[in-house]
Structure 1
Amino acid sequence: MYGAVAAVKDLSLTVRRGEFLTILGPSGSGKTTALMLLAGFVPPTKGDIVIAGRSVAAVPAYRRDQGIVFQSYALFPHLTVRRNLEFPLEMRGIKAAERVTQVDRMLERVHLGDFGDRMPSQLSGGQQQRVALARALIADPPILLLDEPLGALDRNLREQMQVELKNLHKEFGKTTICVTHDQEEALTLSDRIVVMRTGRIEQTDTPEALYDRPTTRFVATFLGEANIIENPDFKVESNAAPPPGTVAMIRPERICVTGPAAPKRVDADQRQSVQGAVSDMIYAGPQRKYHVRVGSSVLIVREHVASGQQIFRPGDDVRLDWLRSDVRFVTT
Structure 2
Amino acid sequence: MKNKPIPAQIEFRDVTKIYGQVAAVRNLSLTVGRGEFLTILGPSGCGKTTTLMLLAGFEAPNRGDILIAGKSVAAVPSYRRDQGIIFQSYALFPHLTVRRNLEFPLEMRGMRAAERAKRVDRILERVHLDDFGGRLPSQLSGGQQQRVALARALIADPPILLLDEPLGALDRNLREQMQGEIKGLHKEFGITTVCVTHDQEEALTLSDRIIVMRAGRIEQTDTPEALYDRPATRFVASFLGEANILENPGFNVETDAAQPSGTVAMLRPERIWVAAPAAPKRADANNRQSVSGTVDDMIYAGPLRKYHVRVGSSLLVVREPVASGQQIFRPGDEVRLDWLRSDLRFVTV
| Superposition TM-score, scaled by structure 2 size | 0.94
Structure 2 counterparts to residues 69-88 of structure 1, below 5 A: 69-88=86-105
Displacement after TM superposition at 1:24 (Å): 0.4
Q: In the alignment, does 2:51 pair up with 1:34?
A: yes
2:248 is the counterpart of 1:248: no
| Alpha-carbon distance between aligned partners in 1 of 2:290 and 2:246, rounded to the nearest angstrom | 14
In the TM superposition, what are the counterparts of 1:175-214 in structure 2 within 5 Å?
A: 175-214=192-231
Question: Distance in 1 between the 2:161 and 2:173 partners?
Answer: 24
Q: Does 1:287 align with 2:297?
A: no
- Counterpart of 2:140, as a letter, is L
The percent of aligned pairs where both chains have the same amino acid is: 83
CA offsets per residue over residues 81-138 of structure 1, 9 Å max, x none? 1111111111111111000001000000000011111111111111110001100000
Query: How well do the aligned residues superpose, as a CA RMSD in angstroms?
Result: 0.7
Of residues 276, 300, 307 in structure 1, which corresponds to 2:293? 276
2: CA distance, partners of 1:46 / 1:233: 48
1:116 to 133, 139, 159: 133
- Could you say what secondary structure the match of 1:321 adopts? strand
Which residue does 2:112 correspond to in 1? Answer: 95
* Pairwise CA distance, 1:198: 1.0
Q: TM-score w.r.t. structure 1 length? A: 0.99
1:326 aligns with 2:335: no
Quick one: distance in 1 between partners of 2:302 and 2:128?
Answer: 31
Q: In the alignment, is residue 53 of structure 1 matched against residue 70 of structure 2?
A: yes
Q: Deviations over 1:9-34 (max 9, x none)?
A: 11111001001000001111110000
Which of 209, 217, 220 is residue 237 of structure 2 equivalent to?
Answer: 220
Q: Which runs of structure 2 are paired with 1:295-314 in the superposition (5 Å)?
A: 295-314=312-331
CA-CA distance at 1:233 after TM superposition: 2.2
Deviation at 1:269, TM superposition (A): 0.8
Give the whole-Å Cα distance in 2 for the aligned partners of 1:320 and 1:66. Answer: 51
CA deviation string 1:26-85 (max 9, x = no partner): 111110000000000001001000000000000000001000000000011111111111
What amino acid maps onto 1:137 in structure 2? L
Q: Given the alignment, which residue of 329, 333, 337 partners 1:316?
A: 333
The residue type paired with residue 97 of structure 1 is: A
- Which of 8, 20, 34 lines up with 1:3 in the alignment? 20
Rounded Cα–Cα distance in structure 1 between residues aligned with 2:258 and 2:224? 25
**Segments of 4+ moved more than 3 angstroms:** none
Indicate the residue corresponding to 1:160 in structure 2: 177
- One-letter amino acid matched to 2:56: A
Structure 2 alignment gaps of length 5 or more: 1-17
Give the secondary-structure state (helix, strand or coil) at the position aligned to 1:300: strand
> Partner residue of 1:148?
165
What one-letter code is carried by the residue in structure 2 that aligns with 1:102?
R
Ranked by relative contact order (alpha carbons within 8 Å, sequence separation 6 or more), the top structure is 1
| Secondary structure of 1:134's aligned partner | helix
Q: Distance in 1 between matches of 2:60 and 2:336?
A: 56
Query: Which is strand-richer, 1 or 2?
Result: 2
Aligned to 2:4: none
Alpha-carbon distance in structure 2 between the residues aligned to 1:169 and 1:177: 11
What is the distance in 1 between the residues matched to 2:171 and 2:286?
A: 46
2:84 corresponding residue in structure 1: 67
Describe the SS at the equivalent of 2:24: coil
Measured in 1, the distance between the counterparts of 2:127 and 2:98 equals: 12
